[in-house]
Amino acid sequence: MRIDSHHHFWRYSPEAYAWISPEMRVLRRDFGPADLKALLDEHGIDGAISVQARADEADNDFLLAHAADHAWILGVVGWLDLAAPDAAEKVARFADRPKAVGLREVLQGMDERDYCLREDFNRGLAALHDFGLVYDLLIHADQLPAAIACVDRHPGQAFVLDHIAKPTIGGPGGVDPDWARSIRELARRENVVCKLSGMVTEVIPSLADWDPDLLGPFFDVVLEAFGPQRLLYGSDWPACLLRGEYADWFLCVEHWIGGLSPEERAAILGGNAQRAYLA
């Protein structure tokens, strides 16, 4: 089974999605299941994992309702305030809902860059393991050291690193050695897998275009670090539309993995997501 492990739906309003700036005109509209299903069918993808796009429990209801209506939406990664005093109770209620598979916090946007090391946050995060929920790490490259320390507090918890930790791509220095070093260190934790997603939106704005060769060195780092059995294809649609079409990213990933074995390609394009979220 081929699975897109990372996409979003939303019913757009400026108030609900304040992170979508006026410059992001292509994203300032509704995106729903019918829009995505046509793209999945075009590329032979059987199912998808929906991921929260705003820090609001109402988004969980919105995504889970879509999942209930469409068999091909295989799971939902939602949002809860894990630092709240009643986080454990809310995690339990969320986990009881059909197709609830994981949670994430928008750590990348936190002023407190090591927010994931807060004691209250970690108390809430600890509750996920008892219910078999995955935790998605949404961070920027500068937050990798804190994320590693957080993962080490929860050796039995399954983690998914979103968007290869969003390194800057296309700068004059190439691959940041600090990012690469931290990726390799994080990958030493067997309870962490990594999504091949969200990379095109990290290409510096001054570069009008990107191609697989520009992004390839970053793919090489995560492939060497995690191996083909711990990488997951994800489109980050519709956010990817800021720098290209769905097909552009899918074909880019297919190009990168073309030299791997059929079994390894199948793992990246779906088998690993099935194990991470649905096993």
Tens-place pLDDT, residues 45-81:
999 999 999 999 999 999 999 999 999 999 999 999 9
Tens-place pLDDT, residues 8-34:
999 999 999 999 999 999 999 999 999
Q: What is the CATH number of the domain that holds 184?
A: 3.20.20.140
Model pLDDT, residue 220:
98
pLDDT value at 197 more than 90:
yes
Q: Say what percent of the chain tops pLDDT 90.
A: 98
Model pLDDT, residue 208:
86
Model pLDDT, residue 178:
98
Tens-place pLDDT, residues 171-187:
998 999 999 999 999 99
Tens-place pLDDT, residues 129-142:
999 999 999 999 99
- pTM here is 0.97
| Residue 230 tokens, joined | 């711990």
Query: In terms of residues, how long is the chain?
Result: 279
Which amino acid is residue 231, in one-letter code? Answer: L
CA 113 to CA 115: how far, in whole Å? 6
Question: Total domain count for the chain?
Answer: 1
Confidence of residue 194 (pLDDT cuts 50, 70, 90): very high
Is the Cα dihedral 212, 222, 162, 76 positive or negative?
positive
Q: What range does the domain containing 232 cover?
A: 3-278
Tens-place pLDDT, residues 228-278:
999 999 999 999 999 999 999 999 999 999 999 999 999 999 999 999 999
